[in-house]
Each structure stands twice: as structure tokens, then as C-alpha cells.
Amino acid sequence: MEDKVKYEMEFPIQASPALLYQYISTPSGLSEWYADNVNSRGELFTFIWDGSEEKAKLVSKKNGERIKFRWLIDEESPYYFEIRIQVDEITKDVSIMITDFAEEDEVNEGKMLWENMISDLKSILGSV
């Protein structure tokens, strides 16, 4: 198995951090923009796209700030994705920070996917 590379992205977004947190941390919020459907049982989340599903474990979360999932490909998998809300202390500008992993030749594809998903989220929030 090829090692994946870590990449990070930042998306400025006009929304309150409290509202944003609902969209990144709850199954119903994630179903609006991240996947077709999201179910959870405790720390186990099931993400469904076009009939296929992937399971991830909620690794950590900090209320109002960030959420981190690890894909359950296998128990030793070091790969995760994290969605973090960042507020600039001076300007109060809000950004979503994404940390994810992809195989080296798929990083651009992964970034484009995140750009599309965050664009959907911005539409839902009325943040253009």
C-alpha cells in the first residue's frame, strides 16, 4: 500500500462558528454537504455516497472548534481527516481548515473534491 501524503486547505467562510460547528459535527449537518447521508452510533459514523458507504471513527472533537475522523480501512490506518473552524482574533474572519490525506497522484483530485464540498456548504449557509 502506497503511503499517502498529508495536505491542508483553508476556506474563508462567512458564517458564525456556532452554526458552522453544527454542519461539521452532526450527522444531519454533514448530510447536507459532505455526503448523501450520514449515520452515527456513538463514535462510529457511516458516510454514504451514491449507494456506497465508508465507516469512520470519531477520533476527537472540541466543541465549537474542530472534529476529526479516522477512516476504518483497517485498525492501524494512520489516515484521518479533520475539519477545523478558525477565527482570526483581530478581524474575526472565519475560515474552515481541512486536513486530509491522499495518494501523491490524487492530491489535486482530493483538493478539488473539498473545494466542491465547501462550495456546497457555503451555498447552504448563504455565504458566497
Q: Where are the domains of the chain?
A: 4-125
Cell 486530509 appears where? 100
Task: State the pLDDT at residue 89.
Answer: 93
Q: How far is residue 81's CA from residue 16's CA, in Å, rounded to a whole number?
A: 22
Find out whether 39 and 46 touch, Cβ atoms under 8 Å.
yes
The pLDDT of residue 75 is above 70: no
- The CATH classification number of 4-125 equals 3.30.530.20
How do residues 15-27 score in pLDDT, each as one tens digit? 999 999 999 999 9
Geometric angle at alpha carbon 96, from 93 and 115, rounded to 5°: 120
Mean pLDDT of 88-106: 95
Of 51, 48, 13, which Cα lies nearest the Cα of 27?
A: 48
Task: State the pLDDT at residue 128.
Answer: 66
How do residues 44-69 score in pLDDT, each as one tens digit? 999 999 989 999 999 999 999 999 99
The pLDDT of residue 1 is above 60: no
Q: How far is residue 77's CA from residue 86's CA, in Å, rounded to a whole number?
A: 27
pTM score, two decimals? 0.91
Find out whether 109 and 102 touch, Cβ atoms under 8 Å.
yes
